[in-house]
Amino acid sequence: MDRIRIRGGRPLEGSIPVSGAKNATLPLMAAALLSDGPLVLRNAPDLADIATMRALLIQHGLTVEHDREARTLTLAGEASHLEAPYDLVRKMRASVLVLGPLVARHGRARVSLPGGCSIGTRPVDLHLKGLEAMGATITLDAGYIGAEAPNGLKGARIIFPVVSVGATENLLMAACLAEGETELVNAAREPEIEDLARCLVAMGARIEGIGTDRLHVTGATHLAAATHDIVPDRIEAGTYACAAAITGGSVLLQGARAEHLGAVARTLREAGVEVAAEGDDLRISRLNGLHGVDVMTEPFPGFATDMQAQFMALMAVAEGASMITETIFENRFMHVPELNRMGARINAHGASAIVRGVPRLSGAPVMATDLRASVSLILAGLAAEGETIVNRVYHLDRGYERVEQKLAAVGADIERIPG
């Protein structure tokens, strides 16, 4: 099993290209099930999760070509197999996003209950209740979701009791082929959902309210071929912003968009980090000291839960104390004991963690527990004295493309050790 070795203490200087967003690419790939295509997705990242979704769609009967040099995915064909098996779905929670498109286009689907990172239960009940409101019959049997709508889905008014990114994506795609009009109220507003909606419009969908919490969809009889540029990955951009800040460096994030960072950009500034637009890029610099800032994770445009672990690593070396409160997922403080092994002073209790900044961290062998936790340990290693070994980096490969190469290119002493 691969490991990553870091020798810390080197400020990062230079430019890092921001890849296409993983969390946008996965639903965009699922959207190919709505049309014979081809659907061409440009700026596609090369990640383990993308490979998993590719395998799932090929299993359904689509052709999926991934040109890594051109950074494009080309998806085409009609699903001939309507079951998403456990062996594939267990690897990645986003696999459940095939449910809505399959039912909308083919009238039925059977999808295993999903897996992914162990950061909480993350139930799919909102996905299922929404499909039921649109006329589908849902059954749960032997770990599988069965959904049938032999006469097609019907438009409905769906009010989400809580904001759900996955349910918004699944039901938005389903609504594009449902008969009549669908309204999604209290819909998630993440940039990845806006990106999905714009791609669906390019395919012929009729969607109003893009970028707001109220989406109105007029169903179409079919969707057509399209070409779409995937939005840059705001979580990758935020992660490398923390890398620049934690090392006291200055890095240009190529393609990053400040408006997509939401509260993350504001919080970084409050902590003493400069976040400045330079054309289509973002310059991240830390010229002076860091100071503690309190954070609470919230749906976009609030502070992203996927940035919580990285910001905690940054606060571990900030002056003063900060409180970090996680409101989206339970079990998302599993990186705390590992950061403490490196000399951090973090006390987690329930949904909150108190971080008391220390002057420096010390390198140590640590264990990654999930995708974002793994990269928080890399950030800590960049700032630590001595050598840090991050184990179980297969989590990292799910969501970060060539992370060790990108960091090495801006001065980090980092390398992958093959397992």
Q: Tell me if 186 is assigned to a ligand binding site.
A: no
**Mean pLDDT (whole number) for 55-71:** 97
3-state class of 237 per DSSP?
A: helix
pLDDT tens-digit series, residues 151-208: 999 999 999 999 999 999 999 999 999 999 999 999 999 999 999 999 999 999 999 9
Identify which of 207, 229, 220 has the alpha carbon closest to the alpha carbon of residue 39: 229
Nearest CA to 318 out of 281, 288, 353, 296 is that of: 288
pLDDT of 120: 40
124 is in an annotated binding site: yes
Give all strands (DSSP E) within 58-124, no chain letters. Answer: 63-67, 72-76, 83-84, 108-112
Active site residue 176: no
CA atoms of 6 and 415, how far apart (whole Å): 7
**Which tens digits make up the pLDDT trace of 231-251?**
999 999 999 999 999 999 999
Cross-strand partners of 319: 291
Confidence of residue 124 (pLDDT cuts 50, 70, 90): confident
Q: What is the DSSP string of 255-302?
A: T--HHHHTHHHHHHHHTT-EEEEETTEEEEE--S--B---EEB-STTS
Give pLDDT tens digits for 295-328: 999 999 999 999 999 999 999 999 999 999 999 8
- Residue 115 pLDDT: 53
For all residues of the chain together, what is the average pLDDT?
94
pLDDT at position 119 is: 31
pLDDT at 102 over 70: yes
Q: Where are the domains of the chain?
A: 3-18+232-417, 22-229
pLDDT above 70: residue 122: no
Q: Rounded to an integer, what distance in angstroms lies between the CA atom of residue 356 and that of residue 383?
A: 16
Q: Is 22 annotated as a binding residue?
A: yes
How far is the C-alpha of 144 from the C-alpha of 17, rounded, in Å?
40
pLDDT class for 68, splitting at 50, 70, 90?
very high
How many Å apart are CA 33 and CA 176, to the nearest integer? 12
Classify burial at 138, counting beta carbons within 10 Å of its beta carbon; exposed 0-12, middle 13-18, buried 19 or more.
middle
How many other C-beta atoms are found inside a 10 Å radius of the C-beta of residue 266? 15
Q: What is the pLDDT of residues 288-304, one digit of tens each?
A: 899 999 999 999 999 99
Secondary structure class of 313 (helix, strand, coil): helix
125 known member of a binding site: yes
Tell me the mean pLDDT in the region 104-121.
Answer: 73
- Cα–Cα distance, 115 to 134 (Å, whole number): 25
Q: Is 332 annotated as a binding residue?
A: no
Q: What DSSP state is assigned to residue 178?
A: S
Residue 202, pLDDT score: 98
pLDDT (0 to 100) of residue 331: 67
Please state at what angle helix 234-247 crosses helix 308-315, rounded to 10 degrees. 10
Instruction: Pick the catalytic residue from 117, 176, 199, 242.
Output: 117
Point out which residues pair with 355 in neighbouring strands: 322, 346
Q: Is 45 annotated as a binding residue?
A: no
Structure tokens at 136: 């589908």
Query: Which CATH number is 3-18+232-417's, of 3.30.1300.10, 3.40.1800.10, 3.40.50.10790, 3.65.10.10?
Result: 3.65.10.10
Q: What percent of the chain has pLDDT over 70?
A: 97
Residues of the chain above pLDDT 90, percent: 86
Residue 214's H or E segment, with its range, is strand 214-218
The rounded radius of gyration (Å) of the Cα atoms in the chain is 21
123 labelled ligand-binding = yes
Give CATH superfamily name and number for 22-229: Enolpyruvate transferase domain (3.65.10.10)
pTM for the structure as a whole:
0.94
pLDDT tens by residue, 267-282: 999 999 999 999 999 9
- In this chain, the answer to whether the domains covering 3-18+232-417 and 22-229 adopt an identical fold is yes
Structure token digits, residue 322? 């900060």
β-sheet bridge partners, residue 184:
158, 215
Q: Side chain identity at 223, as an amino acid letter?
A: L
